[in-house]
C-alpha cells in the first residue's frame, strides 16, 4: 500500500511552479472556482481588512475549531492572504505567536501588507510571514503548539514529506488541525495531471484512508475526523471537505521507579481500546504510569480519570517526579 502511494505521488507532472502560477493569479483577483462555501464567524473577522476576505480561499475554518489558547504558537501552512493567521492572532493574544508560511510571493505580499493594520486593530504585534514550502517549512524544530492548513495539503505532490514536516515543527503533545478536500475513491492518473483541477484542490486529493495512513506514518495519533460537506463531483468521484485533527505524542520518559495507576474510562461508549488495553466504561483498569500520562492529556483529556492506587485519589500530574 505504501509503495503504491509513493508511486502515485511521483507519477504526476504537476510542479510547484504550476501551483504558484495558479495562486499568483488568485492573489490579484478573486477566482470564483476556488471559493468553497466557507462561513467564518463575523466576530472572527471584525479586525481583518475587507481586501483580505476577497481573496481568501479554503474549504473550512480550522483556526476557529482548533481550541487555540492564549500564549500558544500557531503555524499556518499555505497561509495565502493571511485570513486564518489574522483570526489566530486574536486567539493567541499578545503573548502568543502566529507564523504564516506560503510559497507564493503574491499571496505573501497581501498578507504582509495587511498585517500592520490587523496588528493596529488588535493593539499588539504577534504576526510573521515567511516564504517556504510545505515539504521544507522554515520553522524551528518543536516550536509550534498547533499547525493548521486550509485546503493546502492536497496541493502538494509529496504529501508524506508534508506530514513529516508537521511532526518536526510541532512540540511534543502538539496537534494539527487541517481542513482539506478528501476524495471518496483514488484519483486516476489522467486527472492527477490536470493542472486546472489540481489548482482547484481536486486532482491532488487523498482518500481518507490515505490521509490517515500518511499521518500515522509520521507518528500522529488521537484522530478526530469530521466530514463537513460535498465540494464537487468530477468524473464520478466525490470530493468532500473534511476537518481532521491529530496529536504528536508527548515526551514521556519511563522512570526507574515507574509504577502503575488506575484508569477509569468515563464514556460515552461501552468500552474503548487504547494501546492494546481495553477499558470498559466505569471500571478501573490498572495500567503503566506512562500510559496513564498519555490518557491524562492531549486527545484523551477528560475521557479518563487517572487514580493513584495507593491513595485512591485522583493523581496530581503537576509534579514530574515519582521518586521520593
Same-domain status, 184 and 273: no
* Long-range CB contact pairs, 232-238, < 8 A, 24+: 232/202, 234/191, 234/197, 234/202, 235/188, 235/191, 237/183, 237/184, 237/185, 237/187, 237/191, 238/183, 238/184
Q: Which one is predicted more confidently, 140 or 3?
A: 140
Structural domain count, the chain = 2
Q: Which three cell numbers stand for residue 89?
A: 492572532
Asked if pLDDT for residue 31 goes beyond 60, the answer is no
| Residue 199: inside a domain | yes
Asked if pLDDT for residue 176 goes beyond 50, the answer is yes
| Residue 164: inside a domain | yes
The pLDDT value given to residue 283: 95
The pLDDT value given to residue 197: 80
The pLDDT value given to residue 323: 31
Mean pLDDT for the stretch of residues 193-198: 79
Same-domain status, 132 and 233: yes
| Residue 320: inside a domain | no
What confidence tens digit (pLDDT) does each residue in 180-195 have?
Answer: 999 999 999 888 888 7
Same-domain status, 277 and 143: no
Compute the 3-state secondary structure of the chain and give helix, strand, coil in percent, each to the nearest 5.
Answer: 35, 30, 40
> Around Cβ 272, how many Cβ atoms within 10 Å?
16
The pLDDT value given to residue 152: 92
Same-domain status, 266 and 205: no
The pLDDT value given to residue 2: 43
| Residue 324: inside a domain | no
Cα–Cα dist 211/184, whole Å = 12
- The fraction of the chain above a pLDDT of 70, given in percent, is 81
Q: What is the CATH number of the domain that holds 146?
A: 3.40.50.150
| Residue 255: inside a domain | no
Asked if pLDDT for residue 317 goes beyond 60, the answer is no
Q: Where does a domain end: 190, 212, 247?
A: 247
Alpha-carbon distances of 187 from 8, 12, 59, 221, rounded to whole Å: 9, 11, 19, 26
Cα–Cα dist 217/167, whole Å = 10
Asked if pLDDT for residue 253 goes beyond 70, the answer is no
The pLDDT value given to residue 4: 42
What's the chain's average pLDDT? 84
Mean pLDDT for the stretch of residues 22-44: 59
The pLDDT value given to residue 257: 54
Asked if pLDDT for residue 203 goes beyond 90, the answer is no
Mean pLDDT for the stretch of residues 168-186: 96
Asked if pLDDT for residue 22 goes beyond 70, the answer is no
The pLDDT value given to residue 8: 41
The pLDDT value given to residue 161: 96
Stated pTM of the model: 0.83
| Residue 284: inside a domain | yes
The pLDDT value given to residue 290: 87
Among 155-164, 212-221, 306-315, the minimum mean pLDDT is found in 306-315
Tell me the residue range of the domain where 286 lies. 260-314
Backbone angles phi, psi at 80, to 5 degrees: 60, -135
Cα–Cα dist 290/255, whole Å = 9
Cα dihedral sign, 285-320-259-313: negative
Give the containing element (helix H, strand E) for 287. strand 284-288
Same-domain status, 161 and 298: no
Q: What is the CATH number of the domain that holds 278?
A: 3.40.5.100
What confidence tens digit (pLDDT) does each residue in 110-135 have?
Answer: 999 999 999 999 999 999 999 999 99
| Residue 323: inside a domain | no
Q: Which residues pair with 130 in a beta bridge?
A: 101
Q: How confident is the model at residue 55 (pLDDT cuts 50, 70, 90)?
A: low
What confidence tens digit (pLDDT) does each residue in 103-112 have?
Answer: 988 889 999 9
Amino acid at each position: 500500500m505504501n509503495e503504491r502511494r509513493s508511486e502515485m505521488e511521483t507519477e504526476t507532472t504537476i510542479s510547484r511552479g504550476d501551483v504558484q502560477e495558479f495562486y499568483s493569479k488568485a492573489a490579484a483577483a478573486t477566482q470564483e472556482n476556488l471559493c468553497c462555501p466557507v462561513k467564518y464567524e463575523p466576530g472572527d473577522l471584525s479586525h481583518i481588512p475587507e481586501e483580505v476576505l476577497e481573496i481568501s480561499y479554503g474549504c473550512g475554518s480550522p483556526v476557529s475549531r482548533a481550541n487555540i489558547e492564549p500564549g500558544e504558537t500557531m503555524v499556518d501552512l499555505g497561509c495565502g492572504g493571511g485570513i486564518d493567521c489574522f483570526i489566530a492572532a486574536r486567539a493567541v493574544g499578545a503573548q502568543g505567536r502566529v507564523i504564516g508560511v506560503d510559497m507564493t510571493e503574491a499571496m505573501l505580499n497581501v498578507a504582509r501588507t495587511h498585517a500592520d493594520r490587523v496588528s493596529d486593530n488588535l493593539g499588539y504585534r504577534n504576526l510573521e510571514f515567511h516564504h517556504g514550502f510545505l515539504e521544507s517549512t522554515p520553522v524551528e524544530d518543536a516550536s509550534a503548539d498547533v499547525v493548521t492548513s486550509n485546503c493546502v495539503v492536497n496541493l502538494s505532490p509529496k504529501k508524506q514529506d508534508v506530514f513529516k514536516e508537521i511532526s518536526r515543527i510541532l512540540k511534543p503533545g502538539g496537534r494539527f488541525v487541517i481542513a482539506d478536500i478528501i476524495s471518496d475513491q483514488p484519483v486516476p492518473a489522467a486527472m492527477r495531471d490536470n493542472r486546472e483541477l489540481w489548482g482547484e484542490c481536486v486532482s491532488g486529493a487523498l482518500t481518507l484512508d490515505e490521509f490517515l495512513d500518511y499521518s500515522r506514518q509520521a507518528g500522529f495519533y488521537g484522530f478526530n475526523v469530521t466530514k463537513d460537506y460535498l465540494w464537487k463531483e468530477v468524473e464520478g468521484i466525490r470530493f468532500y471537505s473534511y476537518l481532521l485533527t491529530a496529536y504528536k505524542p508527548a515526551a514521556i520518559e519511563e522512570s526507574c521507579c515507574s509504577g502503575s495507576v488506575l484508569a477509569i474510562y468515563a464514556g460515552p461508549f461501552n468500552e474503548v481500546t487504547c494501546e492494546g488495553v481495553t477499558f470498559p466504561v466505569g471500571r478501573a483498569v490498572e495500567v503503566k504510569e506512562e500510559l496513564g500520562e498519555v490518557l491524562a492529556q492531549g486527545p484523551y483529556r477528560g475521557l479518563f480519570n487517572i487514580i493513584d492506587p495507593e491513595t485512591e485519589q485522583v493523581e496530581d500530574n503537576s509534579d514530574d517526579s515519582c521518586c521520593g
